[in-house]
Structure 1
């Protein structure tokens, strides 16, 4: 299974996907036809155009899933699929509505590259449960694509020492997740990503790296280049019903 899961699509001082362009080019290999899934944002045309412009220097032809009555049919012509960021609840609702959950799973199992950023990275997990987003719509289920057996928290933010903010930190919210579920959660800081290829999972991106949370375990820090392949063999244990 070939995966490239980005914490974010745009980094400060860079255009869309520019900070990860070399990694994207390498992950794509010879793939030149990409299906882009823009449902996490409201303006599908503008979002697709922005991604098409960002990938044009790589010689990639981008088509938006929203341009067909049956978006899943467009997967037949694609070498890769990319799900962009925005609101995860809106995105997952659309994936279920258009029958894209089983279609994308099958396409990736057949060897196509799956790329995700932010909400699209959430979609690669077993469930929606570690998103940062507000539930602006209600999906029929929290079940996502399940391309990896662990959870990811994109845009992970460390607690700020001396902060007077009284709301939950990201670490606290993940701890609450582990009160109900025994599944590892990888907190991907801005500018980082994980890439899966040939059974190996590697952390890439900026020096800030990522932090791994487990139920009853102290958080573990990882830097770029870390081998996280053991996470691919996780057996998810969700203590409350999905959906």
Structure 2
């Protein structure tokens, strides 16, 4: 398999600018051989402004609303073509936040509100599991009584045949090269497997096993 993916949790990290926290990984990922990058701005309503922001940085990727992004990919009949180009032709794919969500099996574990309705929650499927970008740990001092991120993922796993979910905290990213997957960045990731307790994983963890199983 020729796929090369850089799946980033967030576009902006507190205290820095757009993509500053992953600039080195972006440069290493694309290298000098990549001269042109196709930026897909569908995750935000202001596509021109979004594209300008990306162009000023690296002419690359982005976040925004996952539902809007996926719906427009369906509207433009791009899901199959993107998957073919990445999986079969080896075209590098980079996503952040919403762009990371739509690269996975489905967007069921996005944090975004469904401001629009795509025909399906099934995503591009560049990897056979789900990712929860911007993963947040429970705060014992917070008086908010809503579900924690961990509880919401547990609710998702109450449904049958739901895939593994990788919680990427802000500052973390997953590098996929063929059948090898490695956690990069400065923060840990949390892995959720149905009917098993969640586990913590340090940067540098080999997650290749996620790519070679059914992940249910």
Aligned match of 2:79 in 85, 101, 104?
Answer: 101
What is the alpha-carbon distance in structure 2 between the residues aligned to residue 202 and residue 101 of structure 1? 25
Conserved in 1, the CA contact under 8 Å of 2:54 and 2:61?
no
What is the alpha-carbon distance in structure 2 between the residues aligned to residue 183 and residue 141 of structure 1? 16
Q: TM-score w.r.t. structure 1 length?
A: 0.84
Conserved in 2, the CA contact under 8 Å of 1:184 and 1:215?
yes
Q: Where do 5+ consecutive residues of structure 2 fail to align? A: none
SS of residue in 1 equivalent to 2:200: strand
Pick the structure with more strand per residue: 1
What is the alpha-carbon distance in structure 2 between the residues aligned to residue 51 and residue 209 of structure 1? 26
Root-mean-square deviation over aligned CA pairs: 1.2
Superposed displacement of residue 198, structure 1: 3.4
Query: Does 2:52 align with 1:49?
Result: yes
Conserved in 2, the CA contact under 8 Å of 1:154 and 1:187?
yes
Partner residue, 2:24: 22
Partner residue, 2:91: 112
Query: Does 2:205 align with 1:202?
Result: no
What is the alpha-carbon distance in structure 2 between the residues aligned to residue 234 and residue 23 of structure 1? 27
Partner residue, 1:67: none
Partner residue, 1:90: 68
Q: Where do 5+ consecutive residues of structure 1 fail to align? A: 56-61, 63-81, 238-243
Aligned match of 2:117 in 135, 138, 141?
Answer: 138
Partner residue, 1:176: 155
Partner residue, 1:190: 170
Pick the structure with more helix per residue: 1
Aligned length: 211
